Amino acid sequence: MERRRRGASDVVGIAVLGGCAAWSLITATARAGRPEGVLLAVLAVAAGYAGGRIAGGLAPVATSCVVGAAGLGLAVASPQAVPAPNTSGPLGGAGATAALLVLSTGALACAAWASRTRRMRVALHLLSAGTVVVGAVAGSTAGAAASCGVVLCALAAARLRHRAGALAGLGVGTAAVAGLGIALAGGALPSGPASFLEGELSEDRVQLWHRALDLAASDPALGAGPGRFEEFGAVSTLYTAPSVPDARPHSAVLQVAAEQGFVGLALLAAAYCWLLYVLWRSTRPTPVVLTAGAALTGVAVLATVGNPLSFTAVTAGAGLLAGIATAVPFGDEPVDDGAAPEPVRDGRG
């Protein structure tokens, strides 16, 4: 029965990711768009997820450590651009760097919870906490803050016995942040909070959000076409704005709504909900599952105010982490040596 349920969740994932790819092709055909970016992101997530499931089944701790180290190395090596990602670089700046730091934190914390001994667990938790320092030193305030949140969630996960409520809370939090961005773009917030958020996010970025929302409203069915926001959405005076150098909306929610309509936005939300669902169905210990969920939620939140999902390193890393957290290890899951509470195997209730 459990195997059939896992198979069903994989079928759902194939359907959702396939729907994302198919809809981008449909809207690109109807609007002469460029679907390559969407297709590459879908392929990266799918390939990362499959690779994470395989490698995580063979060596869950080692795989998590490798993913964490690789993400940290890419984040440190990537060029920095504050306060917005610089798409001329191979990985981008603030947005992609912050997302890579979050994924690295999550992967190292997952390795800690899957390790066999207390000493190894403590060492890996310290390494995961070290990404907060790396983010601060590298000048990625968003990355340091989000990584700190993942570390705290990872530590709190040890005391949780039911993952369903925690995963639902992560989903509600992501929806709230996305809704706040849409409300700001639509001018629905009171003047005080709106002025504060504009000051933090930059006026140029909020203006692009306004334009993205207008585009979505003008053609809610198909949008302007994948990759065409720069053509129709950007105000000419913003192309040289230092805070938003590439004239993209820097919000996955608003960019998808503007370029692929509300069907594309529904598919994007379905992909995130599917990740939370397969984490809920995972047979891995609850601390591993919730830590991965916190890291993926951190990336989702960053994607509502930036464009980290435009970079293959981030989308592939997200798929890898999800695959590791849902893998079925070949052999028994590590048993604690008695120095700490044994991780709960099935806390899905």
Instruction: Give 293-316 pLDDT, tens digit per residue.
Output: 999 999 999 999 888 998 999 999
Closest CA to 296 of 48, 55, 51, 115: 48
Q: How many domains does the chain have?
A: 1
User: What's the pLDDT score for residue 331?
Assistant: 63
Buried (b) or exposed (e) across 32-55, using 16+ Cβ within 10 A?
ebbbebbbebbbbbbbbbebbbeb
Mean pLDDT of the chain: 85
Share of the chain above pLDDT 90, in %: 61
What was the pLDDT predicted at 271? 96
Query: Does residue 231 fall inside a structural domain?
Result: yes
Secondary structure of the chain in HEC code, one letter for each residue: CHHHHHHHHHHHHHHHHHHHHHHHHHHHHHHCCCCHHHHHHHHHHHHHHHHHHHHHHHCHHHHHHHHHHHHHHHHHHCCCCCCCCCCCCCCCCHHHHHHHHHHHHHHHHHHHHHCCCHHHHHHHHHHHHHHHHHHHHCCCHHHHHHHHHHHHHHHHHCCCCCHHHHHHHHHHHHHHHHHHHHHHHCCCCCHHHHHHHHHHHCHHHHHHHHHHHHHHHHCCCCCCCCCCHHHHCCCHHHCCCCCCCCCCCCCHHHHHHHHHHHHHHHHHHHHHHHHHHHHHHCCCCHHHHHHHHHHHHHHHHHHHHCCHHHCHHHHHHHHHHHHHHHCCCCCCCCCCCCCCCCCCCCCCC
| Residue 216 domain flag | yes
What integer pLDDT is reported at residue 95 of this predicted model? Answer: 81
Residue 340: the pLDDT is 37
Q: What is the pLDDT of residue 198?
A: 87
Q: Is residue 338 part of a domain?
A: no
- Whether residue 112 lies inside any domain: the answer is yes
pLDDT at 349: 57
On the question of a cis peptide bond just before residue 308, with omega within 30 degrees of 0, the verdict is: no
In a domain, 294, yes or no: yes
Cα–Cα distance between 294 and 195 in angstroms, integer? 29
Q: Is position 331 within any domain? A: no
Q: Evaluate whether residue 268 is within a structural domain.
A: yes
Q: Which residues of the chain have pLDDT under 50?
A: 80-92, 236-240, 335-345
Q: What is the pLDDT of residues 56-87, one digit of tens each?
A: 999 999 999 999 999 999 888 865 433 334 44
Rounded CA separation 49/58 (Å): 14
pTM of the model: 0.88
Assess if residue 333 is contained within a domain: no
Question: What is the domain range of residue 123?
Answer: 2-326
